[in-house]
Amino acid sequence: AAMADGPKRPRDLKTLSPRAASILQHNYYGWFARAERGIYALTEAGLAAIGPLPAAL
């Protein structure tokens, strides 16, 4: 999960998906929240959707 480690800018995610900005801005599933101008974070629903993260080694 690209955003599990904290808020990101759409341009930081562009290498993973050219449509990252559109996905974050349209937020169809309610998984993202605008943390500040141009920065998005996962909501509680977004964290639940990605499920539990593996523990650090």
Question: For each successive 10 residues of the chain (57 residues), what is the average pLDDT?
Answer: 88 94 94 95 92 67
Strands of 1-57 (E only): list them.
Answer: 32-36, 39-42
What's 18's DSSP letter?
Answer: T
pLDDT score recorded for residue 19: 95
Domain ranges of the chain: 10-50
Contacts of 20 (CB under 8 A, 6+ apart): 10, 11, 13, 14
Task: Give me the pLDDT at residue 56, please.
Answer: 57
